[in-house]
Structure 1
């Protein structure tokens, strides 16, 4: 067998191996059928740099639950002060509560005076976090940041 044929054969085996790996990974993500629910409060401020902290609970439909802390940091063209009293989140595509913890990518545009409401979808790999909440404050701007959930 020539050197060229050996290289082509090795590349063919690598492609077959990759093709076999991708469906297995997709099936693994499809098995992630636990849904978790987040209830939280959050307050913060933004003056170019965005910062907020809060607390809440996560409960999953498989019986797992945890008290959590929440932090939001980021930057952008944002200004204001706000708080969310009745925040809720739906976390999907996880196997257990352990996959809920960590940082989720966040991007948004906000505008509100006195009472406001909002909704956002954040991601962490294949895990999605859909947030809704109502609160009070004054905020205006566009920001990009990180929404982190950790054990309390």
Structure 2
């Protein structure tokens, strides 16, 4: 039993060592130097299932700009209704605006009554999206879901 445990540990360490030698993902992340900002408005509700929709504008430091649709879906132990006005997001580790579209993983604990604020960091591969915003509503619970940026 002990030999098998040490053998598995050695195999895991060998695989981890081999993965750190491969430069492809590190090189791609280092080359991804475009930074984009997201300005958005969002409103939604949750009662076990979480759903929110909104719109926004993405502006990148390389001059690219686009209007976007935002959708948030998920589930968990949540209840509430809320809206976020003038939310801000910072998207990093992209080569162009085309890489900002898609699904970002989201998990969080919400607790807010009347006026509330949020700050989250979401990921999509090596791309990260840091969100901040304030809004109004009631929201309470724990949820897991996805934050999607798409073309309108």
State TM-score, norm by structure 1: 0.86
Q: Which residue of 2 aligns with 1:94?
A: 94
- Superposition pairs for residues 1-152 of structure 1, below 5 Å? 22-152=22-152
Structure 1 residues 52-77: Cα deviation after superposition (integer angstroms, max 9, x where no partner): 00000000000001000000000000
* Aligned-residue CA RMSD (Å): 1.6
Structure 1 residues 13-43: Cα deviation after superposition (integer angstroms, max 9, x where no partner): xx9xx77971133112110010000000000
Q: What SS is found at the alignment partner of 1:145?
A: strand
Classify 1:19/1:144 alpha carbon distance in 2 versus 1 (closer, same or farther; 3 Å): closer
User: Structure 2: where are the runs of 5+ without partners?
Assistant: 1-14
Structure number with greater Rg is: 1
Classify 1:140/1:27 alpha carbon distance in 2 versus 1 (closer, same or farther; 3 Å): same
Cα distance in 1 for residues equivalent to 2:20 and 2:114? 55
Cα distance in 1 for residues equivalent to 2:49 and 2:24? 41
Q: What SS is found at the alignment partner of 2:69?
A: strand
Q: Which residue of 2 aligns with 1:7?
A: none
State TM-score, norm by structure 2: 0.86
User: Structure 1: where are the runs of 5+ without partners?
Assistant: 1-14
Classify 1:33/1:114 alpha carbon distance in 2 versus 1 (closer, same or farther; 3 Å): same
Cα distance in 2 for residues equivalent to 1:25 and 1:33? 14
Classify 1:19/1:80 alpha carbon distance in 2 versus 1 (closer, same or farther; 3 Å): closer
